[in-house]
Amino acid sequence: PRHLLSMSDLDAAAIRTILDTATQMHEVQHREVKKIPTLRGRTIINLFFEDSTRTRSSFEIAGKWMSADTINITGKGSATSKGESLRDTVRTIDAMGVDAFVIRHGASGACHQVAGWVDAHVINAGDGTHEHPTQALLDAYTMERRLGSLEGRHVAIVGDLTHSRVLRSNLISLRRLGAAVTLVAPPTLMPSGITSWAHRDGFTVGHDLDAVLGGEGARPVDALMMLRVQKERMSGGYFPTAREYTVGYGLTRDRLARLTDLNPEIVICHPGPMNRGLEISADAADAAQSLVLDQVSAGVAVRMSVLYHLLAGADGGADAAARVPR
Binding residues for L-aspartate, as ranges, are: 82, 165, 228
Contact between 276 and ligand CP (CB under 6 A)? no
E strands, the chain, in order: 43-48, 69-74, 100-105, 121-127, 154-158, 180-184, 204-206, 223-226, 267-269
Contact between 55 and ligand CP (CB under 6 A)? yes
Contact between 271 and ligand CP (CB under 6 A)? yes
Binding site for carbamoyl phosphate, residues? 54-55, 104, 132, 135, 272-273
| Closer residue to ligand CP, CB minimum distance, 37 or 273 | 273
- Quick check: bond before 240 cis, omega within 30? yes
Give the number of residues written for the chain.
326
**CA 206 from centre of chain:** 23
- The count of other CB atoms within 10 Å of the CB of residue 203 is 19
Candidate list 109, 128, 248, 272; residue touching ligand CP; CB under 6 A: 272
Contact between 74 and ligand CP (CB under 6 A)? no
The H helix count followed by the E strand count for the chain is 12, 9
| Closer residue to ligand CP, CB minimum distance, 38 or 55 | 55
| Closer residue to ligand CP, CB minimum distance, 60 or 222 | 60
DSSP 218: P
- The count of other CB atoms within 10 Å of the CB of residue 68 is 22
| Closer residue to ligand CP, CB minimum distance, 141 or 312 | 141
- By CB under 6 A, how many residues form the interface with ligand CP? 9
Contact between 126 and ligand CP (CB under 6 A)? yes
Smallest distance from ligand CP to CB 183, Å: 18
Which parts of 132-151 interact with ligand CP (CB under 6 A)?
Answer: 135
Contact between 250 and ligand CP (CB under 6 A)? no
Smallest distance from ligand CP to CB 136, Å: 11
Candidate list 54, 91, 112, 323; residue touching ligand CP; CB under 6 A: 54
φ, ψ at 60 (rounded to 5°): -65, -45
Contact between 53 and ligand CP (CB under 6 A)? yes
**CA 188 from centre of chain:** 23
SS3 89: helix
| Closer residue to ligand CP, CB minimum distance, 42 or 270 | 270
Contact between 325 and ligand CP (CB under 6 A)? no
SS3 143: helix
What span, in angstroms and rounded, lies between the C-alpha atoms of 139 and 128?
Answer: 19
Residue 123 bridge partners (DSSP): 4, 102
What span, in angstroms and rounded, lies between the C-alpha atoms of 182 and 294?
Answer: 23
| Closer residue to ligand CP, CB minimum distance, 206 or 271 | 271
Part of the chain binding ligand CP (CB under 6 A), chosen from 47-55, 151-159, 253-261, 315-323:
47-55
Smallest distance from ligand CP to CB 81, Å: 21
Q: Which residues bind ligand CP (CB under 6 A)?
A: 52-55, 126, 135, 271-273
